[in-house]
Structure 1
Amino acid sequence: MKKDGILNRNLINAIADMGHTDIMIIGDVGVPIKDEKQRIDLAISEDLPSVGKVLELIMDEMIYEKVIVAEEQKLYNPLHFKNVSELSKRCKVDTMSHEDLFSTYLSKAKYIVRTGGFEPWGNVVLVAGIDAWKWFQKEGVITPDYYEERASFEE
């Protein structure tokens, strides 16, 4: 039996299945999911589990290089935005309009994790990355400028 961290088999398998640039969305209870192959449904009841707790657990298990939320989250749900920003240790949190976030990422997501969160503009997009620090520590390898920040992050 797994000791700690994510215990849900479907979610931990999805994280293991993510490749560089694959997209995972951690959604609130209202996130629209059209393709059932994308769905990992964790919702039990209102705010159980919360978007923040699921995001925290996923970020502990997954290498990500980009985090994107709706600009409306930053404007109208600042405590949630602050929590997402504090959880994101690998990169800063980018924003775009809620409409653009959905139109850009819902159809491209490999997985959409539905939580029980009743969180206005609570959805969070994670773009999978690589452990750049390990990749660029090899002798003779030169780190390109655009990987400098990611390559400086060591677990």
Structure 2
Amino acid sequence: MQKHGILNSHIAKVLADLGHTDTICIGDCGLPIPEGVRKIDLALTYGVPSFEDVVRLLRYHMQVEAIHVGEPMAKENPDNYAVLEELYPKDCYEWIATSHEEFKEATKSCKCIIRTGEATPYSNVILRADCIFNEEK
């Protein structure tokens, strides 16, 4: 039995299998899951677990080089956008902002979508994996 780290075996497996430039998505409970993309469903009830809870956990356990958000997030969900700015400062990470439709299209190439219980609009991010032997950010 694992003593530390992510206890969810599905998330731990996905992270262990990621290679450089592979992507995963953390999404709110309303984000559509494209056919053929693995869904890891953490949603228990509205708001549990929150987008912030899951993003903070993944920040600690995943080497990331870029994040991708839908453009409406900055205006429509400033609280969760601020969380991303705190965890992934724009001077250290590549930020990609696209229309919400283009964001949803990009989820089709993600290794998985981790569905949270978040019930606020545009609480979605795609994380692109970096090499673990690159300088730690």
TM-score (norm 2): 0.89
Q: Determine what percentage of the aligned residue pairs are the same residue.
A: 36
Separation of aligned partners in 1, 2:36 and 2:100: 22
**One-letter amino acid of the structure 2 residue matched with residue 24 of structure 1:** I
Aligned-residue CA RMSD (Å): 1.8
- Give the match's secondary structure for 2:29: coil
Q: Which residue does 2:124 correspond to in 1?
A: 123
Deviates more, 1:31-40 or 1:54-63: 31-40
Deviates more, 1:38-47 or 1:91-100: 91-100
Q: Which residue does 1:154 correspond to in 2?
A: 136
- Give the match's secondary structure for 2:108: coil
Deviates more, 1:114-123 or 1:2-11: 2-11
**One-letter amino acid of the structure 1 residue matched with residue 115 of structure 2:** R
Q: Which residue does 1:32 correspond to in 2?
A: 32
Separation of aligned partners in 2, 1:42 and 1:59: 17
Larger Rg: 1
**One-letter amino acid of the structure 1 residue matched with residue 130 of structure 2:** G
Q: Which residue does 1:140 correspond to in 2?
A: none
**One-letter amino acid of the structure 2 residue matched with residue 88 of structure 1:** Y
Which 4+ stretches in 1 moved above 4 angstroms?
none
Point out which structure has higher relative CO (alpha carbons under 8 A, 6+ apart).
2
**One-letter amino acid of the structure 2 residue matched with residue 98 of structure 1:** H
Higher helix share: 1
Residues matched between the structures, number: 135
1:10 matches 2:10: yes
- Give the match's secondary structure for 2:104: helix
Deviates more, 1:63-72 or 1:30-39: 30-39
Cα displacement string for residues 7-47 of structure 1 (whole angstroms, at most 9, x for unaligned residues): 11111111111111111000000111133551111111111
- Give the match's secondary structure for 2:40: strand
User: Unaligned 5+ residue runs, structure 1?
Assistant: 134-152
**One-letter amino acid of the structure 2 residue matched with residue 93 of structure 1:** W
